[in-house]
Chain A
């Protein structure tokens, strides 16, 4: 998880924010997925947020639900996802790699075993989308034991007690939610005010990255102007994958271009 600290201190030196793309591992198949992630790294991604395909992705809107369905239809398992992560780690030794997934995948082979496998593959952080703060102890203890940063979500209506807990338990970065609801570019991010981000930062949590509904460079610019340490974009990227599923020659340059436009706004 030290890779996040290294990234944020590099960005601080540059006076810039982070651009973090999200994709589902193995979408639409393991081979093309690796090329997709390489294109995002080549385009300028500062860190990666990666999903392990799950049958019931309840925090995701239709775009990322379909990414899960495509990857599962291609036979992608958690074990194959970790193999893919190892290849990505070999390609980019310093990039922070975060997992964003659902609790039953963590439970299935035993919580400690899951984090051990993740650490061995080169994962820096794990965000479990369906575990609320107050149920997170078992997961964050296993994460810390394996030097993996537990990531916490700060919703727009967060109260002070939860902020205090998140600041104390979270490592790596803090996932600042732009709005209520599921993932998707259909519902644009509501930009948190500079006051809200300032209030959050007073508790000194891991640096906040803004996510959900971020699909344009202007939104990245606004997020950083309002005090976020960067922005996470998922559905906009997955939509490009969906549009050019069978045209890697168009898809990969388009992803590189998208990533570099988003990075340029940091």
Chain B
């Protein structure tokens, strides 16, 4: 739902480290060390830790990690599918979403390289049900507002 809510899977953005499943790495935990529930629209990011390689890359300054929320990832998923006919995995859609932010902020022509780590065929039914639920919610809201 986003890094400012309790529903996220962005362990690297918490700045908190511990041991989960045998690795010392960035994790989502309470002050007592209990592991917190993660959340993400994409199953591959729905984990309260990251591989320790990412923690190393972040701490050594070789990579910067940012968080993207569900709506941004869903929008990027649809945009790449419509514009290029490429269906990105929901995990990769987070990268596409951040590239779109960078592109919007660019003042000079730039080349951006995105790693599509997986294909989104596997996510189609999930995306379909999420979008259908959103459309229904919007329709209900419109009806309520219309009645007022």
Considering the complex, which residues of chain B in the window 24-53 have a beta carbon less than 8 Å from any beta carbon of chain A? 24, 27, 29, 31-36
B contact residues around A58 at 8 Å (CB): 21
CB of A108 within 8 A of CB of B31, answer yes
Smallest Cβ-Cβ distance to A58: which chain B residue: B21
Q: A104-B29, A108-B29 are in contact. Are A54 and B34 (CB under 8 A)?
A: yes
Q: How many residues of A contact B (CB 8 A)?
A: 17
How far in angstroms is the closest Cβ of chain B from A75?
Answer: 11
CB distance from A201 to the nearest CB of B (A): 30
A29 at the interface (CB under 8 A from B): no
Query: A72: CB under 8 A from chain B?
Result: yes
Are B21's CB and A78's CB within 8 A?
A: no
Give A70-112 as 1s and 0s: 1 = Cβ < 8 Å from B's Cβ atoms.
0010000111000000000000000000000011111111000
* B residues less than 8 Å from A130 (CB atoms): 19, 22
What is the CB-to-nearest-CB distance from A141 to chain B, in angstroms, rounded to a whole number? Answer: 17
A195 to B113, CA, bound (A): 62
Number of B interface residues at 8 Å Cβ cutoff, please give it. 14
Q: Which chain A residues border B19 with CB–CB below 8 Å?
A: 102-104, 107, 130
A99 CB to nearest chain B CB (Å): 14
Q: For residue A107, which residues in chain B have a CB less than 8 angstroms away from its CB?
A: 18-19, 24, 33
Contact residues in B for A54 (Cβ distance below 8 Å): 33-34
For A132, the closest partner residue in chain B by CB is B22
B contact residues around A103 at 8 Å (CB): 19
B33 and A108 contacting across the interface, CB-CB below 8 Å: yes
How many A-B residue contacts, CB cutoff 8 Å? Answer: 39
The answer, yes or no, to whether A9 is at the interface (CB within 8 Å) is no
Q: Which of A56, A58, A72 has the most CB of B within 10 A?
A: A56
List the A residue with the shortest CB-CB distance to B27.
A104
Q: Please give, as numbers and ranges, the residues of chain A lying within 8 Å of B20 by CB-CB distance.
A: 56, 104
Q: How far is the CA of A255 from the CA of B35 in the complex (A)?
A: 32
Question: In the complex, how many angstroms separate the beta carbon of B16 from the nearest chain A beta carbon?
Answer: 10
Nearest residue, chain A, Cβ from B22: A130
B31 contacts across to A, CB distance below 8 A: 108
A168 within 8 A of B: no
List the B side residues contacting A78 at CB < 8 Å: 32-33
A78 to B19 Cα, complex, angstroms: 16
Chain B residue with Cβ nearest A56? B35
Measured between alpha carbons, how far is A58 from B29 in the docked complex, in Å?
Answer: 16
Whether A105 and B33, one on each chain, are in contact in the complex, defined by CB atoms closer than 8 angstroms, is: yes
- Asked if B35 and A108 make an inter-chain contact with CB atoms under 8 angstroms apart, the answer reads no
Q: Are B22 and A104 in contact (CB under 8 A)?
A: no
List chain A residues, Cβ under 8 A from B32. 77-79, 105, 108-109
Say yes or no for A187: interface residue by CB 8 A criterion: no
B70 nearest CB across to chain A (Å)? 24
Contacting residues, chain B, for A193 (C-beta < 8 A): none
CA distance in complex: A77, B35 (Å): 13
Beta-carbon contact of A104 and B33 below 8 Å = yes
Residues of chain A with a CB closer than 8 A to B29's CB: 104, 108
A55 touches B (CB below 8 Å): yes
Contacts A104-B33, A107-B33, A109-B32 given; 6 further ones with Cβ under 8 A?
A54-B34, A104-B19, A107-B19, A108-B31, A108-B32, A130-B22
CB-defined A-B contacts under 8 Å, sample of 28: A54-B33, A54-B34, A55-B34, A55-B36, A56-B20, A56-B21, A56-B35, A58-B21, A72-B34, A79-B32, A103-B19, A104-B18, A104-B19, A104-B20, A104-B29, A104-B33, A104-B35, A105-B33, A106-B33, A107-B18, A107-B19, A107-B24, A108-B18, A108-B29, A108-B32, A108-B33, A109-B33, A130-B22
State the 6 A-B residue pairs at the shortest beta-carbon distance, nearest first: A108-B33, A55-B34, A55-B35, A104-B33, A103-B19, A104-B18
